[in-house]
């Protein structure tokens, strides 16, 4: 019985992981690809986006090939959810050519990979490779975790920050674990900035790890699949800030807030409101679906900082309720603050 090759897609919030996986599913070159989505938040935005790819056979339930773990990060729930999920998938390994695991933007990759050492898994699945998705535009702007000098200045200015921030450690761990760095949104920076970002990244990643530019997730699956790295057997060469720890703690102040309502929104007005909200609250990521007045299609909205992308992914189904559903991921967010800030709607 062959081992299922598993590709772990990791990266920070808003880097473009779901866009990448979606493109892989739509350009699978005949491969049977199962997808495991580790969602942060409860309404399953990423899972729905992937299900809407419509790449499954007509007689095949798309839900059977896309599995969501909604209870936090994979590295925190490997025993509670990941193990039984993998057991279910492994029973179908003869009909699966490869498995993609899209981690949460807050998940450490190494604890997940260590789970593939468990006897019940290691004989039937192997981590073929780890792809770390990096937002080039964010690095250029010094937002989120991109600008190390800015983080250092912030640490010096705050007496309560005596150690490296969790987000910086997470970013470094994602780079250290990678077999490939996928640099996204490179079209949003000039050539000189792109060269500087690549030069800096090359110094931060292990020797031999390639950095590949990518736009809108468009890249051949032949580049992302087939590393044959057996990563679970080579973890000693992938250092982590959390090596030697039995458990790790994420920043407990990072949380998600969900907004679900029957209101319709004018996209331009909504984005204006969201940009104001981002200035008022420490929000890392916004994603979800919007009901637009007089539009038969569902609008997908994704935001990082002041950058917002939208596209219509499919028609609203006859038997589904047209709702606006957004998830906000940030620091100490509250439901009331989110709801009170979104006041412009077309009912």
Q: CA triplet 151, 154, 157: central angle to 5 degrees? A: 155
Cβ pair 9, 46 in contact under 8 A: no
208: left (phi over 0), alpha (psi -120 to 50) or beta: left
Q: For residues 287-310, give the mean pLDDT.
A: 89
Kindly indicate the confidence band of residue 170, based on its pLDDT and cuts at 50, 70 and 90: confident
Q: For residues 301-309, give the mean pLDDT.
A: 83
Residue 46 has pLDDT above 90, yes or no: no
Q: For residues 76-95, give the mean pLDDT.
A: 76
Residue 126 has pLDDT above 90, yes or no: yes
> What does residue 254 show for φ and ψ, rounded to 5 degrees?
-80, 125
Q: How many CB atoms lie within 10 A of CB 88?
A: 11
Highest mean pLDDT among 166-170, 229-233, 337-341: 229-233
Task: Provide the pLDDT for residue 161.
Answer: 38
Q: Which residues, at least 6 apart from 232, have a Cβ–Cβ distance to it below 8 Å? A: 113, 114, 116, 117, 122, 126, 127
Of the candidates 51, 16, 56, 104, which has an alpha carbon nearest to the alpha carbon of residue 298?
A: 51
Q: What is the pLDDT of residues 194-216, one digit of tens each?
A: 999 999 899 988 888 999 998 88
Q: What is the pLDDT of residues 137-158, one digit of tens each?
A: 888 887 644 444 444 454 455 4
pLDDT, the chain, mean: 80
Instruction: Look at 29 and 294; give whichever has higher pLDDT.
Output: 294
List of domains in the chain: 4-237 (3.40.50.300), 254-341 (3.30.1220.10)
Task: Provide the pLDDT for residue 143.
Answer: 61
Round to whole Å and give the CA distance between 136 and 198.
9
List b or e across 187-206, with b for residues whose CB sees 16 or more CB atoms inside 10 angstroms.
ebbeeebbeebbeebeeebe
Cβ pair 20, 9 in contact under 8 A: yes
Q: How many CB atoms lie within 10 A of CB 15?
A: 27
Q: Which residues, at least 6 apart from 127, have a Cβ–Cβ distance to it below 8 Å? A: 6, 7, 8, 113, 116, 229, 230, 231, 232
Residue 342 has pLDDT above 50, yes or no: yes
- Residue 182's SS3 state is strand
Place of tokens 């439901």: 335
Q: What is the pLDDT of residues 56-70, one digit of tens each?
A: 555 455 556 777 776
Of the candidates 258, 325, 342, which has an alpha carbon nearest to the alpha carbon of residue 289?
A: 325
| pLDDT > 70 fraction of the chain, expressed in percent and rounded | 78
72: left (phi over 0), alpha (psi -120 to 50) or beta: left
């Amino acid at each position: 019985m062959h081992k299922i090759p598993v590709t772990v897609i990791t990266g920070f919030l808003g880097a473009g992981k779901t866009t990448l996986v979606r493109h892989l599913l739509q350009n699978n070159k005949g491969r049977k690809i199962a997808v495991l989505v580790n969602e942060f938040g409860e309404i399953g935005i990423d899972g729905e986006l992937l299900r809407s790819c419509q790449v499954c056979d007509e007689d095949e339930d798309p839900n059977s090939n896309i599995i969501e773990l909604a209870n936090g990060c994979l590295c925190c729930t490997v025993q509670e959810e990941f193990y039984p999920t993998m057991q279910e998938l492994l029973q179908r390994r003869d009909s699966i050519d490869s498995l993609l695991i899209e981690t949460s933007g807050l998940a450490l990759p190494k604890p997940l990979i260590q789970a593939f050492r468990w006897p019940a898994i290691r004989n039937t699945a192997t981590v073929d490779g780890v792809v770390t998705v990096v937002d080039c535009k964010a690095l250029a702007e010094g937002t989120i975790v991109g600008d190390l000098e800015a983080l250092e200045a912030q640490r010096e200015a705050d007496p309560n920050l005596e150690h490296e921030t969790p987000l910086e450690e997470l970013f470094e761990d994602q780079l250290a674990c990678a077999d490939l760095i996928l640099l996204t949104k490179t079209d949003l920076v000039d050539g000189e900035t792109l060269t500087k970002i690549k030069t800096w990244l090359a110094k931060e990643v292990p020797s031999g790890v390639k950095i590949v530019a990518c736009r809108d997730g468009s890249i051949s699956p032949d580049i992302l699949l087939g590393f044959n790295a057996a990563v679970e057997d080579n973890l000693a060469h992938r250092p982590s800030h959390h090596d030697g720890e039995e458990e790790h703690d994420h920043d407990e102040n990072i949380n998600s807030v969900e907004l679900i309502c029957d209101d319709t929104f004018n996209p331009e007005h909504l984005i204006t409101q969201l940009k104001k909200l981002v200035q008022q609250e420490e929000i890392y990521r916004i994603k979800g679906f919007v009901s637009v007045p007089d539009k038969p299609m569902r609008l997908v909205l994704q935001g990082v900082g002041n950058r917002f992308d939208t596209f219509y992914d499919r028609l609203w189904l006859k038997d589904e309720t047209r709702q606006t559903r957004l998830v906000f991921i940030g620091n100490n967010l509250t439901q009331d603050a989110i709801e009170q800030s979104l006041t412009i709607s077309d009912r």
